[in-house]
């Protein structure tokens, strides 16, 4: 089955902008602009189990989500949706989404999918790409994966190395982790922990001293470092407003929760942060979309994933009234100006079917929706349950966000 139509035949690529260094200051040297046409993240930093629990998707649901690393979107296929529309301005993220979905469809079996997407150092993945995937990719995705990097190797070689180590944010995280190990952090000891009590003890004795190092404390509060880790200025502001503590202390608290509140053996987010690869022998340790129990469903419905290279507001403007059952915004609102949020929410109001849900995450602890979005007479009385929101947030194994909100449109 050839699925060339997975991508629309023509995609308008936004004009690329060249960043010009206007000085040789240290901050400008390190404040590299986020590359708009390169892979930003190779996995989604959001817990798909929590998403599905929060959204309670019914079969044949029509879903709109930010594409990100694609893990969450593919996990939603387990709910048998009618369509999952994945929105992103970055063609690299959409190329990642497509090759992951095509792997579910075209690779011979579950074992081949697991080796291609989850196991590092699999030289046979180059053959899997050539034999099963290349001919089934859209022209846009094929062009992306065939393009050579600075070392002269095609990008699809990432699948023969460690896919989870690729991406703009991932390389920054790797550099930060290396620095912490040089300062004495022993992340490797977490692998030996038998329970949460031991994880907490190892964190206190072998990781926290490096995090409290003055040099690291200074570095982690620099804006250019935070930008490299994926935090824009709006998110930095929200993070600072979370409470009155130092920004570095807030980040340490989030990291403590990630590494101490959930079993390392069952938390692939923690494993990625400490530099551990997916533990394929333990199914509960894998992202949901890579677990064997949902493989047959994902394989059956993967053709219902639809990538769209455009702005979310522009996409929604083209949708019919009351046609969408779920909106997964993740932390997208953290990046928007209040006026943009108002326009976006107007389109959500128009497109939302009765009973539709909106999932929002934020780096801060406050709802990133300005009050003005609820002041229009045309706005339905969206409902949310603060206790349930907090309960879902407490269960989220990613642990790096400060809040999670679910809004439901009344029937």
What digits encode the pLDDT tens for the residues 188-239?
Answer: 999 899 999 999 999 999 999 999 999 999 888 888 888 888 787 877 777 7
Running DSSP on this structure, what letter comes out for residue 87? E
Please tell me the number of Cα atoms within 13 Å of 374 on its side-chain side: 11
DSSP state of 17: -
Taking CA atoms, 269 is separated from 273, 287, 307, 399, in Å, by 6, 9, 25, 9
What is the tally of structural domains in the chain? 2
Same domain, 270 and 180: yes
Domain at 323, CATH number: 3.40.50.150
Q: Where a domain ends, among 257, 282, 307?
A: 282
Query: Among the listed ranges 107-116, 227-236, 301-310, which one has the minimum average pLDDT value?
Result: 227-236
Both structure tokens of 251: 């980040």
Clarify whether residues 294 and 255 are in a common domain.
no
Verify that 294 and 308 share a domain, yes or no.
Answer: yes
Same domain, 210 and 172: yes
Q: Is residue 18 scored above 50 in pLDDT?
A: no
Q: Are residues 263 and 293 in the same domain?
A: no
Phi and psi of 254, rounded to 5°? -65, -40
pLDDT at position 154 is 95
Q: Residue 76: its pLDDT value, please? A: 98
Predicted local distance difference test score (pLDDT) of residue 14: 41
Q: Give residue 241's pLDDT.
A: 66
In a domain, 270, yes or no: yes
Asked if the structure places residue 28 within a domain, the reply is no
In a domain? residue 191: yes
Whether residues 225 and 257 share a domain: the answer is yes
Q: Are residues 340 and 390 in the same domain?
A: yes
Tell me the residue range of the domain where 234 lies.
168-282
Higher pLDDT, 169 or 92: 92
pLDDT at residue 12, rounded to an integer: 41
- Domain for residue 115, yes or no? no
Q: Are residues 397 and 315 in the same domain?
A: yes
Q: Which of 282, 306, 327 is at the close of a domain? A: 282
In a domain, 388, yes or no: yes
In SS3 terms, 240-292 reads as HCCCCCCHHHHHHHHHHHHHHCCCHHHCHHHHHHCCCCCCCCCHHHCCHHHCH
Check whether residue 250 and residue 344 sit in a common domain.
no
Segment 163-175 shows an average pLDDT of 88
Q: Do 269 and 303 belong to one domain? A: no
Condensed to tens digits (0 to 9), the pLDDT of residues 330-388 reads: 999 998 988 999 999 999 999 999 999 999 999 888 888 876 666 565 666 899 999 99
Considering the domain boundaries, does residue 273 fall inside one?
Answer: yes
Clarify whether residues 276 and 347 are in a common domain. Answer: no
Domain end call among 264, 282, 300: 282
Specify if 30 maps to a domain: no
Tell me: do 325 and 395 sit in the same domain: yes
Q: Using one digit for the tens of pLDDT, what is the confidence trace for 313-336?
A: 999 999 999 999 999 999 999 989
How high is the pLDDT of residue 16?
A: 37
- 96 found inside a domain: no
């Amino acid at each position: 089955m050839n699925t060339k139509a997975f991508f629309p035949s023509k995609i308008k690529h936004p004009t690329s902008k060249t960043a010009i260094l206007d000085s040789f200051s240290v901050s400008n040297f390190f404040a590299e602009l986020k590359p708009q046409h390169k892979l930003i993240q190779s996995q989604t930093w959001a817990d798909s189990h929590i998403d599905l629990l929060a959204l309670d998707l019914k079969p044949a649901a029509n879903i709109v989500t930010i594409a990100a690393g694609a893990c969450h979107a593919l996990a939603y296929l387990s709910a048998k949706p009618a369509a999952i529309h994945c929105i992103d301005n970055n063609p690299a993220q959409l190329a990642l989404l497509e090759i992951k979905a095509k792997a579910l469809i075209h690779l011979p079996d579950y074992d081949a999918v697991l080796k291609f997407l989850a196991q590092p150092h699999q030289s046979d993945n180059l053959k899997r790409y050539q034999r099963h995937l290349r001919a089934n990719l859209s022209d846009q995705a094929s062009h992306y994966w065939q393009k050579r990097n600075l070392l002269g190797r095609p990008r699809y070689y990432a699948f023969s190395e460690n896919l989870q180590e690729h991406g703009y944010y991932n390389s920054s995280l790797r550099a930060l982790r290396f620095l912490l190990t040089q300062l004495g952090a022993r992340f490797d000891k977490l692998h030996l922990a038998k329970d949460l009590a031991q994880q907490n003890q190892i964190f206190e004795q072998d990781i926290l001293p490096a995090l409290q190092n003055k040099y690291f404390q200074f570095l982690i509060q620099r804006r250019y470092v935070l930008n490299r880790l994926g935090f824009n200025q709006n998110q930095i502001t929200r993070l600072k407003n979370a409470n009155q503590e130092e920004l570095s202390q807030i980040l340490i608290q989030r990291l403590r929760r990630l590494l101490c509140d959930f079993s390392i053996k069952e938390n692939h987010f923690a494993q990625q942060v400490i530099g551990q690869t997916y533990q394929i022998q333990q199914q509960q340790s894998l992202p949901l979309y890579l677990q064997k129990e949902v493989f047959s469903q994902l394989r059956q419905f993967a053709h219902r994933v639809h990538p769209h290279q455009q702005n979310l507001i522009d996409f929604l403007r083209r949708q019919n009234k009351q046609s969408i059952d779920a909106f997964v915004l993740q932390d997208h609102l953290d990046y928007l100006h209040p006026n943009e949020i108002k326009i976006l929410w107007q389109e959500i109001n128009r497109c939302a079917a009765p009973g539709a849900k909106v999932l929002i995450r934020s780096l801060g602890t406050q709802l990133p929706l300005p009050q003005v979005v609820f002041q229009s007479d045309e706005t339905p009385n969206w409902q949310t349950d603060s206790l349930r929101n907090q309960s879902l947030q407490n269960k989220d194994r990613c642990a790096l966000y400060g809040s999670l909100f679910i809004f439901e449109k009344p029937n």
